[in-house]
Amino acid sequence: MEWDAANGSSRSSGANAANQSSSPPRPGAASHRTLRMATTRRTSPRSWRTASAISPPAVLDLVQLHCPPTDVYYRPEVFGALDRLVEAGKIRYYGVSVERVEEALKAIEYPGVASVQIIFNCFRHRPAELFFEQARKRQVGILARVPLASGLLTGKLTRDSQFAADDHRNFNRHGESFDVGETFSGVDYSTALEAIEELRPLAPERASLAQFALRWILEFDAVTCAIPGGKRPDQVADNCAASDLPPLSEATMRAVSAIYDARIRPGVHQRW
């Protein structure tokens, strides 16, 4: 659900609303998980009042503004509106989903921000440099989104892979429709495939590359959870199994960093 502070209404234009529960912990205190179930709901203050007359009002555990324009982070009235929703008992917590580290750092200046979704994976290391430390100090939950870089880090894509016409991996490779960082994490496709071949031998025996990539994310204590997608039950099960892998060695973590520095950093590090 996305709140429009200008006219006092709300709209479900891509923001995330987590499932309801009786007494959820603050997102920053959540344990590591690789999958979060989420739902979205179109609603408004008027519909809340109408629903309240029929049944007890629903309470959303977590509402996140999904990648609003950067200017929104400099409009306190937007976050004030969210604070009022918390005070009214309509939502328990709220957060944001961001494109850039700078947006994340600005967002957590607002004390009510409880969570931040940010792209973080083996091809996007910058959030770990400063943002993670600041989020930890403020007890802000971090949801690592695009953890598999639009499927690249599954190791299943090749130079010959074809994508449907309505798949952003086909129509947004160069940012034609929205921020290019959302597609393959902004990494040049050919460069990414070369890096994948260097990452592949680092995966533990009997672990998929996707599991390895998710386990790498969970090595960072500041991360609350990673949120990969899955079209089939077996994909979901494979992703969840990453939580059961043993910790990665320091040598492995250094090797991932070396691959990133040599192949990926020049093209993406300072952009997001």
DSSP 19: P
Assess whether pLDDT exceeds 80 at residue 267.
Answer: yes
Q: What is the pTM of this model?
A: 0.79
d(C-alpha 38, C-alpha 102), whole Å: 26
How open is the CA angle 22-112-82, to the nearest 5 degrees?
80
Domains along the sequence of the chain with CATH? 2-268 (3.20.20.100)
Considering only CA atoms, which of 66, 68, 113 is closest in space to residue 93?
Answer: 113
pLDDT tens by residue, 172-181: 998 999 999 9
pLDDT of residue 55: 57
d(C-alpha 241, C-alpha 214), whole Å: 9
Higher-pLDDT residue of 58 and 246 is 246
Provide the phi-psi class of 30: left if phi over 0, else alpha when psi is between -120 and 50, else beta: beta
Assess whether pLDDT exceeds 70 at residue 128.
Answer: yes
pLDDT of residue 1: 38
Considering only CA atoms, which of 107, 166, 159, 169 is closest in space to residue 138?
Answer: 107
CB count, 10 Å around CB of 178? 13
Higher-pLDDT residue of 138 and 26 is 138
